[in-house]
Amino acid sequence: MQKLRTLALCLLLGLVPGLAVTSFAKSPAKAPRHAEETVMADQLMPRYLLQDHQGRAVMHSDFRGRLQLVTFGFTSCPDVCPTTLLAFKQILDGLGKKAELLQAIFISVDPERDTANMLREYTSAFDSRILGLRGSPELLQSATKSFNVRYEKVSEPGASPGVYTMDHSAGMFLLSSDGRFLVKFSHTASPQEISARILELMAADHSLTPKSRR
C-alpha cells in the first residue's frame, strides 16, 4: 500500500499531471452555487446497510447527529476516486474542529476485488477519518439505487475475468444529521467551495452533535 500513500502525497503536492487540486484558503469564502449539482431533494432517499473494515454492519442511521459526505468508487480507480478522496481530506481539514460533525464515507462499487482490508488501507492513505464501506452485490445495488448512482463493470474484448474497470457515477452526496439528502456536489467542485457550503449548513443545523468515531 506504499504506492497508495505515494499517490496521495503526489496529489496533495500537485505532482500528478491532469489531476488538479485546489488548496484551502485560511478563511473559506462563501461557496458559489455552481459547486452543487441539480438534484431535487425528494428524488433521493439515501439508505444503505453495508460493512466496515472490521466486518461490522453500518447503516445510514448510525451517524445521527452528524452530517455525512458520501461518495462511490473503487480502489483501483485511476483518477476520479483518488482525486475525490484527496478532496475529502482537504474538506475535513478545512472544517477545522467542526470536522467532528461530519462523517466522510467511501462506498466501493467493486466488492469483487475491494476487500475490507484493501478499503481500510486505501482510505487511510488519504485520511484516517474516511470510512470505507463495502457489501454484497445485492446490498450494494440497494444502496446505489437509493442514491441514484449508476455503476457497471467494463472489460476489454478477450480480457480475462479479473481484468476490468468500473464505470460509475461521480460526485459527493451530503446527508443531514437525520440522514436526509441535502446537496450533491460535483466532483469538479473545489474543496474550498464544498467546505464553505458545509459550514453554512452546519451553522443552520442546531441538532448536530459530535460522537465517537468508528
Domains identified in the chain and CATH numbers: 2-16+30-151+166-204 (3.40.30.10)
| Pairing outcome for strands 181-185 and 172-175 | antiparallel
Rounded to 5, what percent of the chain is helix, strand, coil? 35, 20, 45
pLDDT digits (tens, 9 = 90+) for 85-141: 999 999 999 999 999 999 999 999 999 999 999 999 999 999 999 999 999 999 999
> What's the pLDDT tens digit per position in 35-77?
777 776 667 899 999 999 999 999 999 999 999 999 999 999 9
Q: Which among 119, 211, 128, 113 has a CA at the least distance from the CA of 166?
A: 113
Query: What integer is the mean pLDDT of 1-13?
Result: 49
Nearest to 130 by CA among 99, 95, 193, 88: 88
